[in-house]
Chain A
Amino acid sequence: MATTAGGALLGLFQDPVKVADAIDSLREAGFDGSTLKTYTDTPYPEGAFGEDPENHRLYVFPFMGALCGFSVGLLITIGTQMAYPLVTGGKPILSIPPMINVMYEGTMLGAILFTVLGIIFESRLPNFSKAPYDPRISEGYIGLLVSRAEGKADVAERAMRAAGAVDIVTQPGSGR
């Protein structure tokens, strides 16, 4: 069985239950959970394929962003008023209530911007890898990628076919 340079092959399935069976078989054949990856065109409930749970640190990003945004908001509101200390309408130079508006918007913008960056980073994007891929995945097929399968590609293919894979793809795919 020929695989890509990284020793990867992709099994295509139509039934989620068969993907879960294939993952079980591959684990029994000695494949580590970290070498197995599913590709779908829609979010299935977590654990639908019996895959390992994914850990992430996305929740850190909004807090970091909020802190940065708040700091920038504080700097702008204090800095501009201190740099040009004109008394307006008898209000104090550093008038806190109006400053809150700009600081609030800065905080929220920072939180949202960092969250978006966090989503992209934690999703491991951009990733234009050459691992096997098949456009049929966007038509409802479920892909099961077995990576680091050098020397065991035949075992992996047999396990996936036995579980009900409709096709095995070894051609390098393109994220683009």
Chain B
Amino acid sequence: MQERRELSPTKINQDLLRFAFHTPLWFWIAAIVLGCIFGAGLVSFILMLIFGLTLLGYTNIQLWGILITNFVFWVGISHAGVMISAILRLTQAEWRRPVTRAAEVLTVFALATAATFPLIHTGRPWRVPYWVFPYDFGRGIFPDVRSALIWDPSAIFTYLSSSAMFIYVALVPDLAIARDQSTGWRRQLYGLLALGFRGTARQWKLQTIAGILLSGLILPVFVSVHSIVSWDFAMAITPGWHSSTFPPYFVIGAVHSGVSAVATLMAILRWIFHLEDYITPDHFDALGRLLLVVVNTWLFFFLLDMVFGIGTRDPNELAIWELRIFQQPFNVLFPVFFITGYIIPMGFWVFKKVRRNIKIMFWTSLIANVGMWLERYIIIVPAVSDKRPFTFTWIPVYQVQPIEVILVLASFALVSLGVLLFAKFFPIIPLFDIKEGQVLKQEIQVGRVRVPGIIRE
């Protein structure tokens, strides 16, 4: 990766702070459109508070559907951010520089959005504190720490707060630059948030250590969170879910969808903010190579889960797999999921020319996430759709209702709006990291060629 552009500190400031200091018309249009979609989701949520969960397609046995699918999907998306950022920081990979913050920001908004879905799903969100927090024993409500549904909020709370703190620590030097480059209320705001950072040798040394130390601490949390999310299912004895391969399968699925989402986001950022000097085809090539490893590892765990499920020869387990693969409507969704989640991305990403083509990377990474959303749907819904002996003889079919579709769209709008608003007020690409790359890329003579001083990638 030798594709480097000469960028002066002033140009970097201008390019990366332009959007924070000037508001183009398209920002207002995008914010209003996304706000309206989110508003529709909010209205749907209020309707559900009034009329209850009957507005959803739930049946007498089918109580986990789109909302939980969406929860798992967004938790998955949230995993790439910090994973990419932390691994790239730990390995000091040069191509991390423009990628890390956008990935971290995506993590925070995706995770916060994910956390809303179990709350909506409860039907009575105002009671959640009684179920989660350990107090008020007198009312006969106690948090059972033996339940995976208690581990889950603790893991998500840890991951969300850690990711937010991680972003803030790495943002402080850029806030100081924004303070110096702005006037008026912006200067006051950035100055306050920058805490008086001036870039002394001591402060930079601690920044560098902080990046590595926090990365090392967050990575295990990242693995634990999706493992625990998988235990929401695997700890139940429900056929189709009760599998010991679920934690690594969920984690790698999360990485697949998350890294794909980062590729999508990087392409969008490049287009809308004209960041051609910062986000280059090299970055997509590197992301594509990473995705190739991830998607094939995901395939291994997917097949493992399938083989373990079918190999048990347990009639209940076989019934779930039959439902997933051969029966309506899952027999249509299953091939679509596999083609969009694996065949198409894998088929494209093996070619270097494709990986360096930003438009194709945008569309294939988007398609990969369609597949990964369907994957979660196929994991969750058939397992609770199956008729069991000695339960009910009358079981209506679970049908997705318009309000569920609105909530899914609203979640996408919420994450997009969150990232957009963050980018409006703060630099979405770390200025100091880019500048450091410029400082360290001093060329050195090797034989008869001059190459950048850092060629770690």
Known A-B contacts A41-B199, A176-B188; A80 and B217 likewise in contact (beta carbons under 8 Å)? no
Q: Report whether B151 and A119 are in contact in the complex, using a CB–CB cutoff of 8 Å.
A: no
Q: Report whether B162 and A109 are in contact in the complex, using a CB–CB cutoff of 8 Å.
A: yes
Taken together as a complex, chains A and B put the C-alpha atoms of A3 and B7 apart, in Å, by: 35
Q: Report whether A58 and B180 are in contact in the complex, using a CB–CB cutoff of 8 Å.
A: no
Taken together as a complex, chains A and B put the C-alpha atoms of A84 and B84 apart, in Å, by: 42
Considering only CB atoms, which chain B residue lies closest to A136 in the complex? B180
Q: Report whether A80 and B143 are in contact in the complex, using a CB–CB cutoff of 8 Å.
A: yes
Residues of chain A from 118 to 157 with CB closer than 8 A to chain B in the complex:
119-120, 122-129, 133, 135, 137-140, 143
For residue B186, give the distance in angstroms from its CB to the closest CB of chain A. Answer: 12
Taken together as a complex, chains A and B put the C-alpha atoms of A71 and B180 apart, in Å, by: 43
Number of interface residues of B (CB under 8 A): 67
Is B134 in contact with chain A by the CB < 8 A criterion? yes
Taken together as a complex, chains A and B put the C-alpha atoms of A115 and B125 apart, in Å, by: 33
Residues of chain B from 136 to 159 with CB closer than 8 A to chain A in the complex:
137, 142-147, 150-151, 154-155, 157-158
Question: How many A-B Cβ pairs are below 8 Å?
Answer: 190
Is B214 in contact with chain A by the CB < 8 A criterion? yes
Is B177 in contact with chain A by the CB < 8 A criterion? yes
A-binding segment of B115-123, B189-197, B289-297, B416-424: B189-197
Which listed residue (B147, B187, B228, B435) contacts A42, Cβ 8 A? B435
Taken together as a complex, chains A and B put the C-alpha atoms of A58 and B213 apart, in Å, by: 10
Is B218 in contact with chain A by the CB < 8 A criterion? yes
Is B209 in contact with chain A by the CB < 8 A criterion? yes
Is B220 in contact with chain A by the CB < 8 A criterion? yes
A67 contacts which chain B residues (CB < 8 A)?
Answer: none
Known A-B contacts A84-B142, A98-B151; A126 and B200 likewise in contact (beta carbons under 8 Å)? no
A79 contacts which chain B residues (CB < 8 A)?
Answer: 134
Which listed residue (A42, A80, A123) contacts B197, Cβ 8 A? A123
B179 contacts which chain A residues (CB < 8 A)?
Answer: 176
Taken together as a complex, chains A and B put the C-alpha atoms of A109 and B155 apart, in Å, by: 9
Known A-B contacts A109-B162, A176-B179, A176-B196; A41 and B435 likewise in contact (beta carbons under 8 Å)? yes
A-binding segment of B8-16, B300-308, B405-413: B8-16
Taken together as a complex, chains A and B put the C-alpha atoms of A83 and B140 apart, in Å, by: 11
Q: Report whether B169 and A137 are in contact in the complex, using a CB–CB cutoff of 8 Å.
A: no
Is A54 in contact with chain B by the CB < 8 A criterion? yes
Which listed residue (B151, B154, B187, B206) contacts A56, Cβ 8 A? B206
Interface string of A78-118 (1 = CB under 8 A from B): 01110110101101000100110110111011011101100
Is B208 in contact with chain A by the CB < 8 A criterion? yes
Q: Report whether A133 and B198 are in contact in the complex, using a CB–CB cutoff of 8 Å.
A: yes
Known A-B contacts A46-B205, A58-B206, A139-B13; A39 and B199 likewise in contact (beta carbons under 8 Å)? yes
B431 contacts which chain A residues (CB < 8 A)?
Answer: 41
Known A-B contacts A54-B202, A138-B177, A139-B13; A120 and B143 likewise in contact (beta carbons under 8 Å)? no
Known A-B contacts A88-B146, A113-B165; A46 and B198 likewise in contact (beta carbons under 8 Å)? no
Which listed residue (A43, A98, A112, A116) contacts B208, Cβ 8 A? A43
Known A-B contacts A51-B201, A115-B217, A137-B198; A41 and B9 likewise in contact (beta carbons under 8 Å)? yes
Considering only CB atoms, which chain A residue lies closest to B192 in the complex? A176
A83 contacts which chain B residues (CB < 8 A)?
Answer: 137, 142
Is B277 in contact with chain A by the CB < 8 A criterion? no
For residue A144, give the distance in angstroms from its CB to the closest CB of chain B. Answer: 11
Known A-B contacts A119-B169, A124-B202, A139-B9; A176 and B191 likewise in contact (beta carbons under 8 Å)? yes
Is A64 in contact with chain B by the CB < 8 A criterion? no
Is B243 in contact with chain A by the CB < 8 A criterion? no
Which listed residue (B158, B177, B187, B210) contacts A108, Cβ 8 A? B158
Is B221 in contact with chain A by the CB < 8 A criterion? yes
Taken together as a complex, chains A and B put the C-alpha atoms of A27 and B453 apart, in Å, by: 31
Taken together as a complex, chains A and B put the C-alpha atoms of A176 and B196 apart, in Å, by: 6
Among B165, B169, B204, B210, max chain A CB count under 10 A is at B204
B210 contacts which chain A residues (CB < 8 A)?
Answer: 58, 115-116, 119
Is B245 in contact with chain A by the CB < 8 A criterion? no
For residue B155, give the distance in angstroms from its CB to the closest CB of chain A. Answer: 5
A59 contacts which chain B residues (CB < 8 A)?
Answer: 213
Known A-B contacts A80-B134, A81-B145; A101 and B199 likewise in contact (beta carbons under 8 Å)? no
Q: Report whether A105 and B158 are in contact in the complex, using a CB–CB cutoff of 8 Å.
A: yes
Q: Report whether B213 and A95 are in contact in the complex, using a CB–CB cutoff of 8 Å.
A: no
A-B complex: 8 closest residue pairs judged by Cβ atoms: A175-B196, A176-B191, A140-B9, A135-B180, A42-B435, A138-B180, A43-B204, A126-B195
Interchain Cβ contacts under 8 Å between A and B, 22 examples: A38-B201, A41-B199, A44-B201, A58-B206, A84-B137, A86-B142, A89-B146, A101-B151, A104-B224, A109-B157, A115-B210, A119-B210, A120-B169, A120-B195, A124-B202, A126-B196, A135-B181, A138-B176, A140-B9, A143-B198, A175-B197, A176-B188
Chain A interface (Cβ within 8 Å of chain B)? Answer: 37-46, 49, 51, 54, 56, 58-59, 62, 76-77, 79-81, 83-84, 86, 88-89, 91, 95, 98-99, 101-102, 104-106, 108-109, 111-113, 115-116, 119-120, 122-129, 133, 135, 137-140, 143, 174-176
Chain B interface (Cβ within 8 Å of chain A)? Answer: 8-10, 13, 134, 137, 142-147, 150-151, 154-155, 157-158, 161-162, 165-166, 168-169, 172-173, 176-177, 179-181, 187-188, 191-192, 194-210, 213-214, 217-218, 220-221, 224, 228, 431-432, 435-436, 438-440
* 17 other A-B residue contacts (CB within 8 Å) besides A54-B201, A77-B145: A39-B199, A58-B213, A86-B144, A89-B146, A102-B150, A109-B157, A112-B158, A113-B161, A115-B217, A119-B210, A124-B202, A125-B172, A128-B191, A129-B196, A138-B176, A174-B191, A175-B197
